[in-house]
Structure 1
Amino acid sequence: MYLLRSLVFALYMLLFFLPFTGFVAISFWMSLAQRYAFVTRWNRATTMWMFEHVLGIPYRVIGRENLPSEPAVILAKHQSAWETLAFADIFPPAAYVAKRELLRIPFFGWGMARMPIVTIDRSGGKDALRQVVEQGRALMAQGYSVVVFPEGTRTAIGTQRRYKIGGATLAVAAGCSVIPVAHNAGEFWRRNAFIKRPGEIVVSIGPPIAAAGRTAEAVNAEAEAWIEGEMHRLFPHHYQSQALARAGLARS
């Protein structure tokens, strides 16, 4: 059954989602705000419906009262492709930070380039950080929050990578709040896995973290502590299994 569900979803992505992103790429007559509203409504009515009713992956949000009323930097775990689409359904108007090479992907990348987005050259070092701040502040001035995955790449649930400082640097430069987010999408939608497994994704939105007048290092550390603490609180079984696996490797 899991395989059949995943096949149907893959056909949807091939026959409907990718052509739609191609249409977005040529929607020159729309303003950025109009295009964003159109795409997010379509995403809610189709892709989110497929997530819940075909893949059997609904979601539940904890901490909706912490949703920002003004542009903020959203720092979140990155475990799968789920959050790159679902966050548009959860958060207020938001742009993503993404690596520039994604824009070269036929259809998907072309459509992404027409949306509010912060693109960076990950090999650029300090230039990449400058790109995040400059592009991010410009989008925030237009009313968009900015979603940053501080670990930089998808990580399996129960694991952690180093939190990069770009998102916190943007928040300090913009004088806005950071909204920390934990979730367990990787439990059902694993990285590069064709077969998705049904289950409820829990998204926990933390209290705003003030960034104005602070160092990026302090803001980043506070966001990391909340996110990782919330991951351990909500999904302790994943960390226990990882610890057991590491212990087994150490004994062998």
Structure 2
Amino acid sequence: MTAPAGGAVGRGSLIRGVLFRIGLTITVILWALISLPSFPLPLRWRYWWITRWCAIVAVMVRYIGGIRIEINGLENRSASPGVIMAKHQSAWETLNLLPWFYPQSWVLKRELLRIPVFGWGLARLDPIAIDRRATRESLRQVVRQGTEKLRQGRWVVIFPEGTRVAPGERGRYQQGGALLACQAGVDVTPIAHNAGEHWPRKGWRMNPGIIQVEIGPRIPTAGRTPAAVNRDAEAWIESAMQRLSASRRPGY
């Protein structure tokens, strides 16, 4: 008697996920050790070298995870860096937006820098590492350091929901990204994607298919309040998420 097709698919996704995470662990350790000599170098040089690991991850996502990328809206990218406000479902978007928005700084929780090996390299990329418990100080830090990163010609990537949310769910959109954009006088670029359906935030599975990414029209900030900018970003992202969910094909 043959096993149900769904069970075979489930086992395949689990095998892919286990192999992917083994590869992830091996490559992050090796790349961190190989990158040690780059740590004293100027930021521009060490940033280029350390982030080559993200390209390795992209290859593993494609050939181990069986996941392809489909991106729309590249024409909406600004010629100069601004603030990116992106949906946060997976680890994918923290690593794989670099080809389209380079270089970039991430707003992330400080605890990530304490992860052995991985945290060493991450710290040398000069992120905006905040203590999420100190809300007011964290907000000031995002605006202060984010403005400096933008002046240096780097995109600032913010996940306004603050943490990863499962597909179909929606977190509270915090105003830090919109406040930074308004204070720095740059536009907001909203990004929606369905990476959580393929590289889930929990569990071991990697589900083959297509990660669909949508880059939205730039949201201007001149003469506007952070609350208004934040509402526009949330409305566009969540509307795009509904379109992505509705267009999902069986098996993906």
Q: Which amino acid aligns with 1:150?
A: P
Alpha carbons 2:35, 2:49 under 8 Å: kept? no
Query: Which residue of 1 is the match for residue 116 of structure 2?
Result: 106
Please identify runs of 4+ aligned residues in structure 1 that moved more than 6 A.
Answer: none
Query: Which residue of 2 is the match for residue 169 of structure 1?
Result: 179
Alpha carbons 2:50, 2:121 under 8 Å: kept? no
Q: 1:205, 1:27 → 2: CA distance?
A: 33
Query: Which residue of 1 is the match for residue 77 of structure 2?
Result: 67
So what's the TM-score if we normalise by structure 2? 0.89
Query: What is the aligned counterpart of 1:221 among 226, 231, 239?
Result: 231
User: In angstroms, what is the RMSD of aligned CA positions?
Assistant: 1.6
Q: 2:140, 2:18 → 1: CA distance?
A: 41
What is the identity percentage for the equivalent residue pairs of Structure 1 and Structure 2?
A: 47
Q: 1:215, 1:148 → 2: CA distance?
A: 18
**Distance verdict in 2 for CA 1:49–1:222, change over 3 Å:** same
- 5 Å-filtered alignment, 1:1-252, equals 1-24=12-35, 27-44=38-55, 46-236=56-246
1:28-72 C-alpha deviation (Å, 9 max, x unpaired):
33211112222333422x211111011111111100111221110
Q: For 1:146, what is the secondary structure of its paired residue?
A: strand
Higher helix fraction (1 or 2): 1
Please, which runs of 5 or more residues in structure 1 have no aligned partner?
239-252
Q: 2:227, 2:241 → 1: CA distance?
A: 21
Shift of 1:7: 2.3
Q: 2:204, 2:27 → 1: CA distance?
A: 18
Q: For 2:99, what is the secondary structure of its paired residue?
A: helix
So what's the TM-score if we normalise by structure 1? 0.89
Q: Which amino acid aligns with 2:24?
A: M
**Distance verdict in 2 for CA 1:152–1:4, change over 3 Å:** same
